């Protein structure tokens, strides 16, 4: 278990996002409104200073967890739909073609 603490800039760089986006993620997480890939997520981080207005530090493990949540997993392709048979048109009850 690594206790490596990263700054907000380092964490944003590892996640591949801007520092402003990272701060937005933290504020949404604090409000309980952060959703990543369709899942609600809470980000655990440390903040020093009076009234929590100091430097932000986040554990490297937490950044790796966020990266894993961001990972896109391809879905299997859906089964192909059967092609319609040429002489069957839904909703038409008479035989198609020239009248005799």
- Token couple for 87: 């002489």
List alpha helices for the chain, DSSP H: 8-15, 19-30, 60-70
Which domains, and CATH codes, for the chain? Answer: 5-70 (1.10.1660)
pTM: 0.68
- CB atoms inside a 10 Å sphere around CB 25: 19
Higher-pLDDT residue of 47, 93: 47
Handedness of CA 74, 76, 81, 82 (dihedral sign): positive
Question: How confident is the model over 63-98, as pLDDT tens digits?
Answer: 999 999 998 888 898 888 877 666 666 676 677 778
* Residue 1: pLDDT over 60: no
Select from 56, 63, 7 the least CA-distant residue to 27: 56
* Residue 24 to residues 27, 43, 62, 77, 87, Cα–Cα distance (Å): 5, 11, 16, 34, 58
Question: How confident is the model over 14-40, as pLDDT tens digits?
Answer: 999 999 999 999 999 999 899 998 889
């Amino acid at each position: 278990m690594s206790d490596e603490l990263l700054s907000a800039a380092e964490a944003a760089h590892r996640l591949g996002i801007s520092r402003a986006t990272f701060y937005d993620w933290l504020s949404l997480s604090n409000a309980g409104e952060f959703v990543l890939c369709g899942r609600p997520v809470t980000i655990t981080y440390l903040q020093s200073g009076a009234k929590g207005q100091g430097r932000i530090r986040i554990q490297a493990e937490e950044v790796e967890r966020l990266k894993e949540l961001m990972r896109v997993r391809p879905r299997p392709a859906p089964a192909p739909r059967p092609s319609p048979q040429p002489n069957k048109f839904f909703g038409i009850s008479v035989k198609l073609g020239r009248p005799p």
